[in-house]
Structure 1
Protein backbone atom coordinates (compact mmCIF):
# COMPACT_ATOMS: atom_id res chain seq x y z
CA UNK A 1 0.00 0.00 0.00
CA UNK A 2 0.98 3.59 -0.51
CA UNK A 3 2.03 5.98 2.22
CA UNK A 4 -0.57 8.74 2.48
CA UNK A 5 1.30 11.99 3.09
CA UNK A 6 0.65 15.72 3.46
CA UNK A 7 3.03 18.63 2.99
CA UNK A 8 2.88 21.78 5.13
CA UNK A 9 5.30 24.44 3.89
CA UNK A 10 4.89 28.09 2.96
CA UNK A 11 7.12 27.64 -0.12
CA UNK A 12 5.02 26.34 -3.03
CA UNK A 13 8.08 25.07 -4.93
CA UNK A 14 9.11 22.95 -1.94
CA UNK A 15 5.64 21.48 -1.55
CA UNK A 16 5.76 20.57 -5.23
CA UNK A 17 9.28 19.10 -4.92
CA UNK A 18 8.32 16.83 -2.00
CA UNK A 19 5.06 15.81 -3.71
CA UNK A 20 6.97 14.86 -6.88
CA UNK A 21 9.68 12.92 -5.02
CA UNK A 22 7.16 10.96 -2.95
CA UNK A 23 4.67 10.42 -5.79
CA UNK A 24 7.44 9.15 -8.07
CA UNK A 25 8.28 6.64 -5.32
CA UNK A 26 4.68 5.37 -5.46
CA UNK A 27 3.12 7.27 -2.55
CA UNK A 28 -0.04 9.37 -2.38
CA UNK A 29 -0.26 13.08 -1.51
CA UNK A 30 -3.54 13.63 0.33
CA UNK A 31 -3.12 17.39 0.73
CA UNK A 32 -0.93 20.40 1.23
CA UNK A 33 -1.03 23.62 3.22
CA UNK A 34 1.02 26.79 3.30
CA UNK A 35 0.78 27.59 7.01
CA UNK A 36 0.43 25.80 10.33
CA UNK A 37 -3.22 26.66 10.94
CA UNK A 38 -4.32 25.32 7.54
CA UNK A 39 -1.98 22.36 8.04
CA UNK A 40 -3.64 21.33 11.30
CA UNK A 41 -7.10 21.52 9.68
CA UNK A 42 -5.81 19.48 6.75
CA UNK A 43 -4.34 16.77 8.97
CA UNK A 44 -7.55 16.58 11.03
CA UNK A 45 -9.60 16.06 7.87
CA UNK A 46 -7.45 13.62 5.86
CA UNK A 47 -5.47 11.76 8.57
CA UNK A 48 -2.27 11.12 6.61
CA UNK A 49 0.30 8.53 7.68
CA UNK A 50 3.07 11.09 7.35
CA UNK A 51 3.41 14.89 7.42
CA UNK A 52 6.31 16.84 5.97
CA UNK A 53 6.46 20.03 8.02
CA UNK A 54 8.46 23.23 7.56
CA UNK A 55 9.85 24.95 10.65
CA UNK A 56 9.41 28.60 9.67
CA UNK A 57 5.92 29.51 8.42
CA UNK A 58 3.36 32.28 8.87
CA UNK A 59 0.58 32.11 11.50
CA UNK A 60 1.95 29.09 13.37
CA UNK A 61 5.51 27.76 13.16
CA UNK A 62 6.53 24.14 12.75
CA UNK A 63 7.07 23.52 16.46
CA UNK A 64 3.58 24.76 17.38
CA UNK A 65 2.03 22.88 14.47
CA UNK A 66 3.79 19.62 15.37
CA UNK A 67 2.64 19.86 19.00
CA UNK A 68 -0.98 20.34 17.90
CA UNK A 69 -0.84 17.46 15.40
CA UNK A 70 0.78 15.04 17.86
CA UNK A 71 -1.65 15.98 20.62
CA UNK A 72 -4.62 15.10 18.41
CA UNK A 73 -3.00 12.29 16.39
CA UNK A 74 0.01 10.76 18.15
CA UNK A 75 0.38 7.99 15.56
CA UNK A 76 0.93 10.35 12.63
CA UNK A 77 4.62 10.60 11.77
CA UNK A 78 6.15 14.05 11.24
CA UNK A 79 9.31 14.81 9.28
CA UNK A 80 10.66 18.32 9.68
CA UNK A 81 12.07 19.96 6.56
CA UNK A 82 14.06 23.12 7.15
CA UNK A 83 17.10 25.15 6.24
CA UNK A 84 17.78 25.50 9.99
CA UNK A 85 20.54 23.04 10.78
CA UNK A 86 21.62 23.46 14.37
CA UNK A 87 21.51 20.97 17.20
CA UNK A 88 19.43 23.17 19.52
CA UNK A 89 16.66 23.62 16.94
CA UNK A 90 16.69 19.93 15.99
CA UNK A 91 16.38 19.03 19.69
CA UNK A 92 13.42 21.43 20.04
CA UNK A 93 11.84 19.81 16.98
CA UNK A 94 12.07 16.34 18.52
CA UNK A 95 10.67 17.64 21.82
CA UNK A 96 7.72 19.14 19.91
CA UNK A 97 6.90 15.78 18.33
CA UNK A 98 8.94 15.58 15.14
CA UNK A 99 9.89 11.97 14.38
CA UNK A 100 12.72 12.96 12.03
CA UNK A 101 14.34 16.05 10.59
CA UNK A 102 15.90 16.69 7.19
CA UNK A 103 17.69 19.86 6.14
CA UNK A 104 17.08 21.67 2.86
CA UNK A 105 18.28 21.20 0.22
CA UNK A 106 17.89 17.42 0.13
CA UNK A 107 17.90 14.73 -2.53
CA UNK A 108 15.18 12.22 -3.30
CA UNK A 109 17.42 9.49 -1.86
CA UNK A 110 17.90 11.42 1.43
CA UNK A 111 14.17 12.07 1.68
CA UNK A 112 13.19 8.45 1.06
CA UNK A 113 15.81 7.24 3.53
CA UNK A 114 14.30 9.41 6.27
CA UNK A 115 10.80 8.22 5.33
CA UNK A 116 11.91 4.58 5.62
CA UNK A 117 13.28 5.29 9.11
CA UNK A 118 10.04 6.80 10.46
CA UNK A 119 7.79 4.33 8.61
CA UNK A 120 9.86 1.14 8.52
CA UNK A 121 6.90 -0.80 7.17
CA UNK A 122 7.24 1.47 4.09
CA UNK A 123 3.97 1.37 2.26
CA UNK A 124 1.68 0.21 5.05
CA UNK A 125 -1.06 2.76 5.68
CA UNK A 126 -1.74 3.04 9.40
CA UNK A 127 -5.21 4.37 8.64
CA UNK A 128 -6.41 1.58 6.39
CA UNK A 129 -6.89 3.69 3.28
CA UNK A 130 -4.76 3.08 0.22
Structure 2
Protein backbone atom coordinates (compact mmCIF):
# COMPACT_ATOMS: atom_id res chain seq x y z
CA UNK A 1 0.00 0.00 0.00
CA UNK A 2 1.26 3.50 -0.85
CA UNK A 3 2.10 5.90 1.93
CA UNK A 4 -0.68 8.28 3.00
CA UNK A 5 0.05 11.99 2.65
CA UNK A 6 -1.69 15.16 3.80
CA UNK A 7 -0.96 18.22 1.64
CA UNK A 8 -1.30 21.65 3.21
CA UNK A 9 -0.88 24.81 1.14
CA UNK A 10 -3.07 27.90 0.80
CA UNK A 11 -2.56 27.92 -2.98
CA UNK A 12 -4.90 25.44 -4.69
CA UNK A 13 -2.61 25.09 -7.71
CA UNK A 14 0.32 24.11 -5.43
CA UNK A 15 -1.82 21.44 -3.76
CA UNK A 16 -2.81 20.20 -7.21
CA UNK A 17 0.81 20.12 -8.39
CA UNK A 18 1.99 18.23 -5.30
CA UNK A 19 -0.95 15.84 -5.48
CA UNK A 20 -0.13 15.12 -9.11
CA UNK A 21 3.54 14.33 -8.31
CA UNK A 22 2.54 12.09 -5.39
CA UNK A 23 -0.25 10.10 -7.05
CA UNK A 24 1.90 9.45 -10.15
CA UNK A 25 4.51 7.94 -7.84
CA UNK A 26 2.30 5.63 -5.79
CA UNK A 27 1.47 7.86 -2.83
CA UNK A 28 -2.08 8.36 -1.64
CA UNK A 29 -3.14 11.94 -0.91
CA UNK A 30 -5.64 11.44 1.93
CA UNK A 31 -6.41 15.09 2.53
CA UNK A 32 -5.78 18.68 1.52
CA UNK A 33 -5.71 21.68 3.83
CA UNK A 34 -5.79 25.34 2.79
CA UNK A 35 -4.39 26.64 6.10
CA UNK A 36 -2.60 25.52 9.25
CA UNK A 37 -5.79 25.13 11.29
CA UNK A 38 -7.26 22.74 8.73
CA UNK A 39 -3.96 20.84 8.58
CA UNK A 40 -3.98 20.28 12.36
CA UNK A 41 -7.56 18.99 12.47
CA UNK A 42 -7.14 16.85 9.33
CA UNK A 43 -3.93 15.39 10.75
CA UNK A 44 -5.66 14.13 13.90
CA UNK A 45 -8.59 12.86 11.87
CA UNK A 46 -6.68 11.14 9.02
CA UNK A 47 -3.42 10.07 10.72
CA UNK A 48 -1.32 10.37 7.53
CA UNK A 49 2.21 8.92 7.26
CA UNK A 50 3.50 12.28 6.10
CA UNK A 51 2.50 15.94 5.89
CA UNK A 52 3.77 18.30 3.19
CA UNK A 53 3.15 21.78 4.59
CA UNK A 54 3.63 25.30 3.31
CA UNK A 55 5.13 27.74 5.80
CA UNK A 56 3.18 30.86 4.81
CA UNK A 57 -0.58 30.29 5.21
CA UNK A 58 -3.56 32.22 6.62
CA UNK A 59 -5.25 31.54 10.00
CA UNK A 60 -2.30 29.53 11.32
CA UNK A 61 1.07 29.39 9.59
CA UNK A 62 2.93 26.17 8.86
CA UNK A 63 5.31 26.53 11.78
CA UNK A 64 2.47 26.94 14.31
CA UNK A 65 0.67 23.97 12.71
CA UNK A 66 3.88 21.91 12.81
CA UNK A 67 4.27 22.60 16.54
CA UNK A 68 0.60 21.75 17.24
CA UNK A 69 0.79 18.46 15.32
CA UNK A 70 4.02 17.47 17.06
CA UNK A 71 2.47 18.26 20.47
CA UNK A 72 -0.08 15.52 19.88
CA UNK A 73 2.28 13.26 17.91
CA UNK A 74 6.01 13.80 18.52
CA UNK A 75 6.83 11.24 15.79
CA UNK A 76 4.89 13.05 13.05
CA UNK A 77 6.77 13.21 9.74
CA UNK A 78 6.39 16.71 8.34
CA UNK A 79 8.18 18.23 5.37
CA UNK A 80 7.93 22.01 5.08
CA UNK A 81 7.70 23.87 1.77
CA UNK A 82 8.79 27.47 1.46
CA UNK A 83 9.62 30.07 -1.14
CA UNK A 84 13.19 31.23 -1.61
CA UNK A 85 14.55 33.67 0.93
CA UNK A 86 12.80 32.29 4.00
CA UNK A 87 15.94 30.79 5.56
CA UNK A 88 15.07 31.97 9.08
CA UNK A 89 11.67 30.28 8.87
CA UNK A 90 13.22 27.11 7.46
CA UNK A 91 15.64 26.98 10.39
CA UNK A 92 12.78 27.54 12.84
CA UNK A 93 10.79 24.78 11.13
CA UNK A 94 13.67 22.30 11.42
CA UNK A 95 14.24 23.28 15.08
CA UNK A 96 10.50 22.77 15.67
CA UNK A 97 10.70 19.23 14.36
CA UNK A 98 10.24 19.34 10.58
CA UNK A 99 12.05 16.38 9.01
CA UNK A 100 13.06 18.24 5.85
CA UNK A 101 12.15 21.21 3.69
CA UNK A 102 11.61 21.79 0.00
CA UNK A 103 12.15 25.17 -1.62
CA UNK A 104 9.50 26.45 -4.05
CA UNK A 105 9.23 26.35 -6.97
CA UNK A 106 10.08 22.68 -6.64
CA UNK A 107 11.04 19.91 -9.03
CA UNK A 108 9.21 16.59 -8.82
CA UNK A 109 12.43 14.65 -8.19
CA UNK A 110 13.35 16.91 -5.26
CA UNK A 111 9.91 16.34 -3.70
CA UNK A 112 10.21 12.54 -4.11
CA UNK A 113 13.80 12.49 -2.84
CA UNK A 114 12.74 14.36 0.30
CA UNK A 115 9.80 12.01 0.93
CA UNK A 116 11.97 8.92 0.47
CA UNK A 117 14.57 10.37 2.84
CA UNK A 118 11.93 11.06 5.50
CA UNK A 119 9.87 7.88 5.17
CA UNK A 120 12.87 5.63 4.47
Structure 1: runs of 5 or more not aligned: 121-130
Cα RMSD over matched residues?
1.0
Q: Does 1 or 2 have the higher relative contact order (CA < 8 Å, sep 6+)?
A: 1
Deviations 1:61-118 (A, max 9, x none): 1110000011111222101011044432221011122110000011111100001111
3-state SS in 1 of match to 2:78: strand
TM-score by length of 2: 0.95
Is the alpha carbon distance of 1:45 and 1:62 closer, same or farther for their aligned partners in structure 2, counting shifts above 3 Å? same
3-state SS in 2 of match to 1:16: helix
2:82 and 2:90 in contact (8 A); partners too: no
Aligned pairs for 1:18-29 (under 5 A) are: 18-29=18-29
**1-side partners of 2:86 and 2:61: how far apart?**
17
**1-side partners of 2:67 and 2:24: how far apart?**
30
1:7 and 1:15 in contact (8 A); partners too: yes
Equivalent residues, number: 120
Cross-structure match for 1:36: 36
2:79 and 2:100 in contact (8 A); partners too: yes
Structure 2: runs of 5 or more not aligned: none
